[in-house]
Amino acid sequence: MRAAILSVCPDLDLRLFKELSAESTSSMKLEDDLLRFDEIGIPKRYKFGVLNVCDGQTTEEEWFSNTGLSEPLEEFLDLLGTRVALLEYDGYTAGLDIKTGESGDTSYVSRWREHDIMFHVAPLMPLRKNDKQQVHRKRYIGNDVACVVFVEGNQAFDPTSIRSQFLHIFVLVHPEIAFGKPCWRVQVIRKHNVVEFGPMLPSPPLFFDKEELAGFITLKLRKIFRSQHKSTDWYPKDAC
């Protein structure tokens, strides 16, 4: 703790401060006050996109045209949140239509502490066969800051293939077998000069435990709102 303080304020004379015991800070509820201070300016509601990439798909038109949930994708979404009916949904909707079904019949929601999260899941939204670009789907996901991309093939994902002024960060999740066990490989791709933010990916970036994966992605997405978005250039790979 002393080293951390001095790294920020090297001229600070710590001899002038009194060190409090854990019992003292607990009785004064200092930790609670610090947590509340840490949350100042952070929204209580979040919205994130979800796309799936099937084997051989390389364009945004193909990604936004995927419809329905494969078994691996549904298993992954069940880790992230709870599937809810949108009709007359009384929680945080993140702009999804709850009256006419324009956004689909269901979506996925989650809650982290007191924070509400709604996922814009592209393959759960209605498919319009006459619209190659699926503009109504992209209208939601293209206006999100971050998108979770579930990659079910072996091809690379190129974020520049999606034309959006708002999407700055992609969290890629790829199911695979490693060391003889099923797991998920996670990669984070971010625009240039988006400030690094935790939690850091493990090395190798593999998750074998479902709860650990869900916890990591939820916290990673939430931390996105503390990062800065300044440039249109991309880091092709990121270990943050």
| In the chain, domain spans | 44-226
Whole-number Å distance between alpha carbons of 91 and 108: 12
> What's the rounded mean pLDDT across residues 131-156?
94
Please identify which residue in the block is written with the tokens 């009194």.
18
pLDDT in tens, 6-57: 666 777 777 777 777 777 766 766 766 666 555 555 678 899 999 999 999 9
Using 50, 70 and 90 to split pLDDT, how confident is the model at 238? very low
pLDDT attached to residue 44: 80
> Residue 130 and residue 116: Cα distance in Å, rounded?
34
Task: Read off the pLDDT of each residue in 158-177 and give the average, rounded to a whole number.
Answer: 93
Q: Is 173 exposed, middle or buried (0-12, 13-18, 19+ CB in 10 A)?
A: buried
- What pTM was computed for the model? 0.79
Give the pLDDT of residue 155.
84
Regarding predicted confidence, which is higher, 85 or 40? 85
The residues that bridge with 119 in the sheet, in sequence order, are: 48, 108
Task: Provide the pLDDT confidence category of residue 136 given band limits of 50, 70 and 90.
Answer: very high
What is the arithmetic mean of pLDDT over 165-184? Answer: 95
Res 131: pLDDT = 94
User: pLDDT of 35-44, one tens digit each?
Assistant: 655 555 567 8
CATH superfamily of 44-226: Rap/Ran-GAP (3.40.50.11210)
Using a pLDDT cut of 90, give the percent of the chain over it: 62
Amino acid code (one letter) for 35: L
Instruction: Tell me: pLDDT of 231 over 50.
Output: no
- What does the alpha-carbon distance between residue 207 and residue 183 come to, in Å, rounded to a whole number? 6
